[in-house]
A and B are shown apart, each in its own frame.
Chain A
Amino acid sequence: MTEKTPFSLQGKKILVTGASSGIGLNICKSVVASGGEVIGVARRTDRLSAMVKELGETRASFINADLSVDTGIEKIIAEIPEINGLVYAAGITKLSPLKFIKRQVLEEVMNVNYFSMVLLLAQITRHKKLKRNADSSIVLISSVAQQIGTKSSLLYTGSKGAMSAASRVIANELSSQKIRVNTIEPGMVQTAMASEMEDMLSSEAVEKDRKQYPLGYGTPEDVANAAIFLLSDASKWMTGQSLTLDGGRYKLLD
């Protein structure tokens, strides 16, 4: 018998929000592939059922809930068992130059990307749903966007900056229970969300951006692999950190 590797998620139950597509969906698959059990949260039942069907009911389940309303968060709290980890991958994006930003769209993006994250973690903590003193881990999917200032990205960048700042506070508050909190800050990852943004830009602008990534654009699997590391005991000495995954885009200069 080989000993269990610290990178394994065997025996760990992981809650993943934004589980129906993109990075969230890939994290669900990777949790199961790494030996863990996943509970996926999203609004689209058809996609969640497909996810559970693919991964098998013994290791995967889902909760159909809208995180943007309190009743959605209450539903999650009522339905989940004690968990060992949580990944917040729910998020939306919208490009808009500053002068076109109105309260409604600002609230819409902040609500999903930031307010719901804070309110979900508040209730998870209040109801002691994350196992204490057992190397539990919270992983927030932020963005490298929050380290820089890409034109027209204010709605998204502001929400991710708030998320990354909050993560350090939450990490500090939960450290006494040995619950760790880290963010992943990816650059451009090929998902439906990225294609939606590319539709608004010229193909030349997208091509120019792509060329600035020494290792090319990322894949959802690249982000999922980092999430598995942060969820596993292999990272048990790591908290309050941001892990940048950008194929060398912002540190390697020509």
Chain B
Amino acid sequence: MDKNQFLQSFAEQFDETDPSAITMDARFKEIDEWSSMVALMIIAMVDENYNKKITGADLREANTIEQLFERINAK
């Protein structure tokens, strides 16, 4: 998994948030636009791009995008 590619795909799931605010350190659930819908988009994006299944629990337990990336990587 390429980090930059992941970050870009992650940022694409947001419509209003400036992509520059989406960094590996960002606490993604604190982004104003974060919602259950964006969460489902991230789950679908990970499935489509990496063929890996993540759940609401993975999103709950990761705080930063980096932490989520590591969780996905470990699957």
Contact = CB atoms under 8 A, between A and B. Distances in A.
B39 A97 contact: no
Interface residues of A, number: 14
B44 A199 contact: no
A205 B43 CA distance: 15
Nearest to A152: B40
A148 to B, nearest CB: 15
Contact of A199 (B41, B48, B56): B56
A202 interface: yes
A201 B44 contact: no
Contacts of A199: 55-57
B62 interface: no
Nearest to A101: B44
A99 B44 CA distance: 9
B45 A202 contact: no
Contact of B44 (A97, A198, A202, A205): A97
Contact of A202 (B41, B48, B60): B60
A203 interface: yes
A42 to B, nearest CB: 24
A152 B39 CA distance: 11
A200 B56 contact: yes
A95 interface: yes
A177 B74 CA distance: 60
Interface of A: 95-97, 99-100, 151-152, 198-203, 205
